[in-house]
């Protein structure tokens, strides 16, 4: 063993090791209560401030939170001494191009080791180095930015790295006595136990009226708001009236497939008659009922085809005692994805004029189906365009008007349908707004000029074919700093001229005509 290799090895624990590693030294460091508040954080909420104010002692707060605190408690949250609103001093921090706080004179970035001061008369914040060299040493008692006179007593210390115990969080008065403002969410939660539970308005209404006739009616009608409930109620009334007419009529009646309640309700929603709501077969009606039980209303114009898989009824009947025993397997009917071969056409009526839109239903079927369905059910009516950027685009389709709301007709985001044939290449392009890949909802935007950087990131599903002068009007509307129009640009309503999804397919029309011809020939024979 070498002489120097292990010269520091000891068969005992040294004094230094006891002080730094053993004898509870590490746990003692972990138990230390010292936590210093950063200079850019509010001393009341401990989060970065937006509108800073301070006291003569240099305690910085966000004005949004300190004002209610003073009104309620009338004291300084840090020291516990009396404090009035008139004692607050508005601060003016300066930032560089990277968004970091800096001294406006020396252009040095503020860190946790910077001595930071503020001038009471103006509220401007500087590094102490600048004030010391340019004011104190030269006896120049004029503020460095505004030339406003001040005294030595007007210098307020915001942060002093030599006084580490000046902003220890555990020593703050509001931390010791746990004095805080009542949280608005806590108030709402106390008033309404379901406040923080994500539920639809229909579910909340049923929970409020649980056990009453109104609650049962809301569950029976299926929710969806008063408009949807009225439509379904009208469908039920139409169904009952049709059944009553059949009972009252004399003479032999031609047998027809049973009319499903689900089909009748869906027919009413999609503007079809009760007669057209009759399912083509008992299997397809059962498939629609099963889909409705899973929470999905299948429109009548949806084509149902046999899949390669069975319905699973035999397996369920064999392995579970809660299902009816079934000994035969039938193929499951599923929705066939409908890809129209025609374009869709709508007219958008706004407060600044009309826009005629052509929709590429043959290229973007899901996106266009989502947009057309929202147009027909009045989802976009009386909504505003919440974002308007000159020489770029105008965006709308959010019922909240904030840019963070809106959903698709399926209740969840759907995938992008980008295509090399449809690019953001010209003025008047209609495209879907999203927050990332495959996050489309209900928001859309119309381009004022080409935007190739959006290609293959947003789904182009239409274009303006009439009313470009309306775009010129909306482009000139002034906006605020967040690009929100100062003058409301509102969608009054959207008229649908051509909807390929509700029009019958040519194939179905020909099949129906051929079946009617065959029936007529059979009757003649």
Q: Cβ(123)–Cβ(168) under 8 Å?
A: no
Tokens representing residue 194 in the block: 């379901």
Instruction: Say which of 387, 422, 430, 443 is annotated catalytic.
Output: 387
Of 177, 166, 175, 173, nearest in space to 36 by CA: 166
> Is 454 annotated in the active site?
yes
Annotated catalytic residue, options 135, 159, 388, 395: 395
> Which residues 6+ apart lie within 8 Å of 163 measured at CB?
none
Of 169, 349, 356, 392, the catalytic one is 392
CA 68 to chain centre: 29
Task: Out of 134, 145, 189, 454, pick the active-site residue.
Answer: 454
Supply the DSSP symbol for 366.
H
Residue 97 vs residues 94, 110, 121, 312: alpha-carbon distances, Å: 10, 14, 27, 64
Report how far apart, in Å, the C-alpha atoms of 59 and of each of 77, 120, 169, 356 are.
Answer: 9, 13, 12, 59
Residue 316 is among the residues annotated as catalytic for this protein = no
- 374 is an active site residue: no
360 catalytic, yes or no?
Answer: no
Q: Which of 385, 458, 471, 499 is catalytic?
A: 458
- In the residue annotation, 458 being an active-site residue is answered as yes
| Alpha helix (H) residue ranges in 328-383 | 365-376
Collect all residues with Cβ–Cβ distance below 8 Å to 48 and sequence separation of at least 6.
40, 41, 42
Does an H or E element contain 238, and which?
Answer: helix 225-248
Task: List CB contacts of 202: < 8 A, sequence separation 6 or more.
Answer: 218, 223, 224, 225
Residue among 372, 445, 463, 471 flagged as catalytic: 445
Sign of the CA dihedral running 66, 70, 76, 80: negative
How many helices (H) and strands (E) the chain has is answered by 15, 19
Which of these, 252, 253, 298, 305, lies nearest to 277 by C-alpha position? Answer: 298
Strands (E), 252-398: 304-310, 331-335, 344-350, 353-359, 383-384, 387-389, 393-396
Q: Which residue in the block uniquely carries the two structure tokens 């080791």?
A: 113
Q: From start to end of 96-238, where are the E strands?
A: 101-102, 116-119, 125-127, 155-159
What's the Cα-to-Cα distance from 326 to each of 288, 313, 317, 400, rounded to whole Å?
A: 20, 6, 6, 49
Active site residues: 387, 392, 395, 434, 445, 454, 458
């Amino acid at each position: 063993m070498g002489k120097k290799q292990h010269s520091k090895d000891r068969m005992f624990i040294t004094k230094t090791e006891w002080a730094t590693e053993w004898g509870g030294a590490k746990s003692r460091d972990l138990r230390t209560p010292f936590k210093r508040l950063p200079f850019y954080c509010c001393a009341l909420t401990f989060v970065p401030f937006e509108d800073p104010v301070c006291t003569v002692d240099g305690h910085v707060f966000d004005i949004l939170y300190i004002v209610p605190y003073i009104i309620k408690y009338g004291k300084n949250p840090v020291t516990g001494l009396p404090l009035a609103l008139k004692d607050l001093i508005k601060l003016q921090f300066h930032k560089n191009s990277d968004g970091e706080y800096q001294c406006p004179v020396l252009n040095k970035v503020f860190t946790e080791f910077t001595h930071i001061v503020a001038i009471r008369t103006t509220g401007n914040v500087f590094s102490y180095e600048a004030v010391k060299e340019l004011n104190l040493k030269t006896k120049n008692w004029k503020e460095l930015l505004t030339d406003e006179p001040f005294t030595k007593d007007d210098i307020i210390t915001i942060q002093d790295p030599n006084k580490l115990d000046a902003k220890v969080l555990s020593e703050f008065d509001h931390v010791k006595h746990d004095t805080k403002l009542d949280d608005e969410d806590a108030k709402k939660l106390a008033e309404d136990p379901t406040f923080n539970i994500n539920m639809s308005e229909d579910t909340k209404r049923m929970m409020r009226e649980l056990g009453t006739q109104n609650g049962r009616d809301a569950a029976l009608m299926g929710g969806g708001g008063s408009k949807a409930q009225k439509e379904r109620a009208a469908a039920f009334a139409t169904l009952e009236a049709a059944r009553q007419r059949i009972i009252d009529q004399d003479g032999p009646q031609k047998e027809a497939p049973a009319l499903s309640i689900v089909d009748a309700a869906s027919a009413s929603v999609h503007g079809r008659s009760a007669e057209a709501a009759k399912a083509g077969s008992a299997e397809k009606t059962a498939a629609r009922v099963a889909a409705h039980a899973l929470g999905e209303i299948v429109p009548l114009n949806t084509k149902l085809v046999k899949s390669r898989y069975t319905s699973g009824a035999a397996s369920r009947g064999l392995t579970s005692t809660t299902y009816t025993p079934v000994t035969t397997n039938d193929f499951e009917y599923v929705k066939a994805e409908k890809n129209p071969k025609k374009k869709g056409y709508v007219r958008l009526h706004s407060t600044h004029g009309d826009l005629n839109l052509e929709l590429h239903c043959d290229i973007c079927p899901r996106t266009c189906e989502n947009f057309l369905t929202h147009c027909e059910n009045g989802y976009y009516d009386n909504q505003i365009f919440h974002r308007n950027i000159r020489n770029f685009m105008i965006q709308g389709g959010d019922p909240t008007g904030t840019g963070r709301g809106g959903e698709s007709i399926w209740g969840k985001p759907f995938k992008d349908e980008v295509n090399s044939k449809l690019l953001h290449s010209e003025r008047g392009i209609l495209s879907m707004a999203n927050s990332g890949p495959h996050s489309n909802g209900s928001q859309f935007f119309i381009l004022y000029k080409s935007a190739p950087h959006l290609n293959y990131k947003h789904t182009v599903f239409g274009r303006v074919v009439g009313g470009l002068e309306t775009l010129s009007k909306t482009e000139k509307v002034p906006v605020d700093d967040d690009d929100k129009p100062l003058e409301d640009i509102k969608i009054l309503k959207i008229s649908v001229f051509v909807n390929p999804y509700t029009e019958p397919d040519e194939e179905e029309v020909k099949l129906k005509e051929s079946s009617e011809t065959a029936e007529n020939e059979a009757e003649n024979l």
